[in-house]
Amino acid sequence: MTLARASLAAPTRALHKGQQTRAAIVDAALTLALQKGLEGLSIGALAEAIGMSKSGVFAHFGAREELQIAVVREYHARFEEEVFCPAICEPRGLPRLVALFERWVHRVAVEIDAGCIYISGAVEFDDRPGPVRDALAGMVLAWHAALARAIAAAIEEGHLRADTDPAQMLFEIHGLVLALHHDARFLRQPGTLERAERAFARLVDAARAPLVDTARAPLVDPARAPPVDPARAPR
C-alpha cells in the first residue's frame, strides 16, 4: 500500500471503529433505558455497564440529553424494522392495517418485562418540554401517521365504510394497546393479548363495509377483499 493510500485508509478505519463504538453505546443505553427508563440513563451508569470510562462515553455523547435522544431514535428504528416494514408489504387496505396492529401488539407483548420506550417515555416526559420530549413525541406521531394512512387506505379500497372516522379509529386502536400494556405489565393479568386481539376484531367488524348486494354493483373488489366470516355476515 502506498503512503497516499495508507493516509486515506487510516481515517476510514478510525471512522468505522468510532461508529461501531457509538452503536455499541446506544445499544447498551437502550437496554438500560428499557429497564430504568430514559431518566434512569446516566453517563456514569452507562460507562460502568459497558466497561468504558466516562470520558470515553462523553467523546461520543457530550450530554445525557443527546444520549437519550439517540436511544429514542434507535428504539424507533427497531420498531420500524420489526413492525412497520414487514406489515407494509401486505396488500393495501385492511390486510395491511391488520398486519400493523398484529405486529404492534405482539411486540408490546414481548416487551412486557422489558418495557416500551413509547409508553414509559410518555409518562416520564409528558409535562417536561424539551428536545427529548420533542423527539419522543415526533416518533410516536410518525407511527400514528402510518396507522392513519393504513386506515384511510382501507376506506379507499372499500374494506371499511366510507363514513369511518380515521382519527377515531386510530384513537381506539391506540387505546387497546395502552390497555394491553397496562393490564399485562402492571396488573400481570393473563390473556391480555387475546383480549386486545378480540377487541380489535370487533372494532374492525363494526367499521367493515357492507357485503356485496347482488342487486347492486360490488362495493368491494372480491379479489382484494379480506376474508369475511360467513357467521358474521349481515342478515
**Rounded mean pLDDT, 71-84:** 94
Give phi and psi for 160, each to the nearest 5: -115, 155
Domains identified in the chain, total number: 1
**Rounded mean pLDDT, 186-199:** 93
Does residue 174 surpass a pLDDT of 90?
A: yes
Confidence of residue 229 (pLDDT cuts 50, 70, 90): very low
C-alpha cell at 129: 418540554
Would you state the pLDDT for residue 18? 76
Would you state the pLDDT for residue 221? 41
Q: Which domain holds residue 151?
A: 70-210
Sign of the C-alpha dihedral, residues 30, 35, 37, 41?
negative
State which amino acid sits at residue 131.
P
CB-based contact 210:160 (threshold 8 Å): no
What is the tens place of the pLDDT at every residue in 144-158? 999 999 999 999 999
Does residue 202 sit within a domain?
yes
Does residue 159 surpass a pLDDT of 70?
A: yes
CB-based contact 25:50 (threshold 8 Å): yes
Does residue 19 sit within a domain?
no
Would you state the pLDDT for residue 13? 52
Does residue 166 sit within a domain?
yes
CB-based contact 189:122 (threshold 8 Å): no
**Rounded mean pLDDT, 121-141:** 92
State which amino acid sits at residue 9.
A
Does residue 7 sit within a domain?
no
Does residue 27 sit within a domain?
no
Confidence of residue 180 (pLDDT cuts 50, 70, 90): very high
Range with lowest mean pLDDT among 3-12, 39-48, 62-71, 164-173: 3-12
CATH label of the domain that carries residue 137: 1.10.357.10
Does residue 192 sit within a domain?
yes
**Rounded mean pLDDT, 54-65:** 82
**Rounded mean pLDDT, 22-39:** 89
CA distance 209 to 220: 8
